[in-house]
Amino acid sequence: MNKKRVVIGMSGGVDSSVAAKLLIENGYDVIGLFMHNWEEDGDDGACCAAADFDDARAVSAKLGIPCYSVNFAAEYQERVFAYFLDAYKKGRTPNPDVLCNREIKFGPFSRYAQTLGAEFIATGHYCGIKQFKNDTHLLKARDTQKDQTYFLNQVKTKQLSNVLFPLANLHKSEVRQIAKTENLVTAKKKDSTGICFIGERKFKKFLQTYLPAQSGDIVDASGRVLGTHDGLLYYTLGQRKGFGLGGIAGEGQNRWYVIGKDLAKNRLIVSNGEGEELFSSVLTMQDVNYIGTVGEKHEFRAAAKCRYRQEEQPCTVFTQNNKTTLRFDTPQRAVTPGQYAVLYQENRCLGGGVIV
């Protein structure tokens, strides 16, 4: 009996390593594929791609499967990084990892896997999937602290039609233990954090390389000038440090925080207090993507996350004239343009959209 072939994205981390091991145990013909998504000259190049590829190959050799590499740097520059820079130019705070999943991992990667004879692709994401005859549901992982459905909210339903997520029912501690038992080189490897292409460098220094910024005034809500900022693109809504405001006569001793950006006048707007200006009960989003059949989209109840680590917040979703609005049961702090609002109903991720 011929085994079904699966091509798994091998990142050089512990999650994809164990996912590959589980696929083999479940009788699949497994091929590892490592993606090079970023190219940069110099000793401080991001992502440590060479070291990660070495780890991916070492794990594959240990598991007895082939491991190839493919370069998607051009596609990444065009489909992800260009969007990232454009969003910052517009004063937003983008999340490139969300786009990378839709535009690279479940796009060119999937098509390349088919040239290797793949019937399925797989990743080390912490999430689940349920296929119906005419529908697909994206499900939260058993390990709620590691659940990554937030980052998959823009992946199209069709892109998930032949995907396997082997870690859906495992906790991170169990994944680590499997890697240790199998003596995989990634067993104790630190999880990657932050944006891949920035690596260990300071975020501000990285942005300065691509987006030379223009300094301007820091003002309060009344327009009073309090100081000077280095460039609006370096700040995000709710930020409480990094803009050099100390004690100011007549003001309380609370920390200053960002409450807005005036792009036309290049002004950073801040306030001193408890952050009451940052709370809002309604948000609007665009580029809304629903995963699987959602049913009546004109108005329905759901829960939403406006950032990855946030707890799900009950809300009502309204769609009219191609405009989608979320009205929360309780006000939310620092709803940030450029980030994603992701919708849930119980254990299912419905998809999401870009906050505007």
Closest C-alpha to 49, from 81, 11, 20? 11
Which pLDDT belongs to residue 247?
62
- Could you tell me the fold of the domain covering 214-274? SH3 type barrels. (2.30.30)
Separation CA 31–CA 12 (nearest Å): 14
Which residues are known catalytic residues?
100, 196
pLDDT at 46 over 70: no
- Residue 296 to residues 234, 290, 312, 317: CA-CA distances in angstroms? 40, 12, 21, 10
Q: Which residues pair with 340 in a beta bridge?
A: 354
Closest C-alpha to 213, from 223, 224, 195, 228? 228
Hey, where are the domains in the chain?
A: 5-124+166-198, 214-274, 279-355
Closest C-alpha to 344, from 144, 138, 156? 138
Structure tokens at 126: 């912490």
pLDDT at 132 over 80: yes
Separation CA 8–CA 31 (nearest Å): 6
Asked if 5-124+166-198 and 279-355 have one fold, the answer is no
Task: Give me the CATH code for the 5-124+166-198 domain, please.
Answer: 3.40.50.620
Please, are residues 201 and 194 in contact by the beta-carbon 8 Å criterion? no
Q: How many CB atoms lie within 10 A of CB 178?
A: 20
Sheet holding 67-71, edge to edge: 67-71, 29-36, 5-9, 120-122, 163-164
- Residue 67 to residues 106, 111, 182: CA-CA distances in angstroms? 18, 17, 18
Q: Does domain 279-355 have CATH number 3.40.47.10?
A: no
What average pLDDT does range 39-57 have in this prediction?
Answer: 72
Bridging pattern class, strands 313-320 and 348-355: unpaired
Which pLDDT belongs to residue 65?
98
Considering the chain, what is the average pLDDT of its residues?
Answer: 91
Segment 49-58, tens digit of pLDDT: 888 999 999 9
In terms of phi and psi (left: phi > 0; alpha: psi -120 to 50; beta: otherwise), the region of 273 is: left
pLDDT at 344 over 80: yes
Segment 277-290, tens digit of pLDDT: 899 999 999 999 99
Segment 87-104, tens digit of pLDDT: 999 989 999 999 999 999
97, containing H or E segment: helix 96-100
Residue 132: phi and psi, rounded to 5, are: -110, 175
Segment 212-242, tens digit of pLDDT: 889 999 999 999 999 999 999 989 999 988 8
